Amino acid sequence: MVVHLLLPGYPPASHLMVDAGRLMPCLPVVCHMDSSIVLFGPPGAGKGTQAGRIVEVTGKPQVSTGDMLRAAVAAGTELGRIAKGHMESGGLVPDDVIIGLIEERVKESDARNGLLFDGFPRTVAQAEALAQIAPVSLVIAIEVEDESIVGRITGRFTCGGCGSVYHDLFRPCKIEGICDECGSSNFKRRADDSEETVRSRLAAYHEQTSPLASWYEQRGLLHRIDGNASIDEVGFRISKILDE
């Protein structure tokens, strides 16, 4: 007879079998605290803010492909040299290089309880590759309508003096044209925050990344979050999911 037990003193996701009087480990049940989490959503959805909160709650290191690429290039690794060649030529870094970097990253000591993947995977093909090298127990999709995204991004501007970030609607200067923090009147708007650029980025997101939602939903991992709520409310909803 085989009986499944969950015993004190063992990791919460570990099960043991009693078989002929012996305790034998079963396949572990993946839980949020000992495997990786994927966070994705359209540009301007607030992933960066919420990623920081998830790191605080779970202790999982936050990684993005951009971070890994820059680190590999700076370190001069073989994959870094390959990636640098593609980046300098203006081309996209191939998936096999990205996956190679992730394979290296998950072997580092701080990744033993999983990682928080911020903005990766971007395609179903990348998700399939990730599933082979890093167990994922939770996928959080922050969803915001396109028109809201356009309003969020095109309204941003930054103080050229101290770098404080403002928004035409959500965080205007207390005195128009004067930075609240340093008193500068020199403000900048990023060229890639134009409406045309934002809509182009959104189109690419819907074509490449949106299908991830269905892929992860079919596997019972997806949790959709309404990103139109306040920052604190979005954070609260994510915290409830992490506690499940």
What pLDDT digit, counting tens, does each position of 221-235 carry?
999 999 999 989 999
Determine, yes or no, domain membership for 12.
yes
What is the structure's pLDDT at 30? 40
The answer to whether residues 183 and 160 touch, using CB atoms and an 8 Å cutoff, is: no
Sign of the Cα torsion 103, 109, 113, 117 reads negative
Number of domains, the chain: 1
Sheet holding 116-118, edge to edge: 62-63, 116-118, 36-40, 136-143, 222-226
Determine, yes or no, domain membership for 57.
no
Mean pLDDT for 138-145 is 96
Domain that holds residue 6: 1-30
Determine, yes or no, domain membership for 140.
no
Look at 77-81, 145-149, 150-154, 199-203 and tell me which has the smallest mean pLDDT. 77-81
What is the structure's pLDDT at 65? 85
The answer to whether residues 16 and 7 touch, using CB atoms and an 8 Å cutoff, is: yes
Residue pLDDT, tens place only, 105-132: 999 999 999 999 998 998 999 999 999 9
What is the structure's pLDDT at 85? 86
Mean pLDDT for 155-184 is 94
For the chain, give the longest Cα–Cα distance.
78
Taking alpha carbons only, the member of 29, 28, 48 closest to residue 39 is 48
pTM (2 decimals)? Answer: 0.77
Indicate if the pLDDT at residue 10 is higher than 60: no
Determine, yes or no, domain membership for 5.
yes
Determine, yes or no, domain membership for 18.
yes
Surface-to-core class of residue 241, CB atoms within 10 Å of its CB (0-12 exposed, 13-18 middle, 19+ buried) = middle
Q: What positions carry a catalytic annotation? A: 47, 122, 156, 189, 201
Which residue is associated with the tokens 């403002």?
Answer: 166
Determine, yes or no, domain membership for 1.
yes
